[in-house]
Amino acid sequence: MPENWKRLLLLIVVAAFVAGIMFTGGCYFARDFLSAKQGSQLGVQANADSLPGTGPDAVADVVSRAGQAVVKISTKKNSSQTIDPLFNDPFFRQFFSIPFSSRQQEDGLGSGFIISKDGFILTNEHVIDGANEISVTVAGFDKSFVAKVVGSDYDLDLALLKINAESDLPFLNLGNSDQIRVGNWVIAIGNPYGLDHTVTTGVISAKGRPINVGDRQYENLLQTDASINPGNSGGPLLNLQGEVIGINTAINAQAQGIGFAIPTSTVQRVLEDLKNSESSVRPWIGVQVRPVDEESARYLGLTKAEGALVAGVIAGSPAQKAGLRQWDVVVEFNGVKINNADELVAAIKAAQVGQRVKVLVVRNRQLNSVNITIAEKPRNIK
């Protein structure tokens, strides 16, 4: 065969081989591209069917596990006048126009949750305050149980009840409220308006909120947009693991979707005292604090949104006597840096009554030092 024909035949074979490789690769590329496109479309559909950051059954799974441990608390107390029992919650009474009727017994409704299989129940103190009779309705039982108050704390608005059942009861575990973050999903379960086991969801809107409700002053509440209504008081605020991170307490009547809960960090600190019917000694300086956000940091001339902002100073308190003022920002307490309001509350709780501590505050863009003597919170201050 002539040399030129041999070269031409070799070129044809090589070209055919290269064309075959390119065709095969193109098929694989097209297949992978179509698969990726379809997977992307399926992913978009899956995300559209669920809450942000959760699966479609995440809340339902928590409710199915935790709901059986949430109870309805009914109370009776002697009174010369009464109101509709669905609104017999002093935290909400002032916000509604409710007709009074004349009779000798006042009925009340609230919520609570079981924390041990032998029948210990946590709720708010204001739910059972002044009650002559307390009965608890537990899901799955035909009759309600008579409850005994084991311990209560007016200032913290906590009460521990006990019921006796013939079998082990479902219960909830207390989680770590210090680990909850603003923006985390939460679930509230309770009996608003007497509607058993109503479930609402939302997020943590803020932490360390100080509020006044009636004659009570709270210093460190969780704020949530999960709906909380009359009858929710004492019910659990749950994380997505089904752990209790707060006890639902109050709403803000001047705003939509703003509720508050007592964090479990407060509960766990006094739980043993409540079980032993002991009154805890609480160190106190007499301030209300809130977190420093970016806006308040700019307004106060701070370089960073750090520290604890003094929102109010109680008259006659150790803080007032030491010269602490509203709008001061506490940045150090007894030699420990304070990054946020929660850390200041924790530092005060860890101090000893009678201890004299040095507090550094930013005031008018300057660093100032005040010395405060820690006192026990007076029982006549509500």
CB atoms within 10 A of CB 17: 10
Tell me the CATH number at 354: 2.30.42.10
pLDDT value of position 79: 62
Is 233 among the catalytic positions?
yes
**Residue from 74, 107, 126, 205 carrying the catalytic annotation:** 126
Burial of 286 (0-12, 13-18, 19+ CB in 10 A): buried
- The residue segments making up the domain with residue 300 are 283-376
pLDDT value of position 166: 84
Total count of domains within the chain: 3
pLDDT value of position 379: 57
Contact 153, 279 (CB under 8 A): yes
pLDDT value of position 53: 56
pLDDT value of position 127: 93
pLDDT value of position 61: 92
Low-confidence spans in the chain with pLDDT less than 70? 1-54, 79-104, 214-215, 252-255, 278-281, 379-382
Query: 297 and 367, same structural domain?
Result: yes
**Residue from 74, 152, 233, 265 carrying the catalytic annotation:** 233
pLDDT value of position 181: 94
Domain assignment of residue 250, yes or no: yes
Is 293 among the catalytic positions?
no
pLDDT value of position 13: 52
**Residue from 155, 157, 328, 342 carrying the catalytic annotation:** 157
Q: How far apart are CA 367 and CA 275, in angstroms?
A: 44
**What values do phi and psi take at 196, rounded to 5?**
-60, 140
* Element at 300 (helix H, strand E): helix 294-300
pLDDT value of position 111: 94
Which tokens is 48 given?
Answer: 């559209």
Q: What is the DSSP string of 244-291?
A: EEEEEEEE-TTSSS-EEEEEHHHHHHHHHHHHTT-PPP-EE--EEEEE
Q: How far apart are CA 347 and CA 336, in angstroms?
A: 8
Find tokens 């698969």 and name the residue. 35
- Distance between the two ends of the chain, CA-based, in angstroms? 113
pTM: 0.61
Domain assignment of residue 47, yes or no: no
Query: 293 and 256, same structural domain?
Result: no
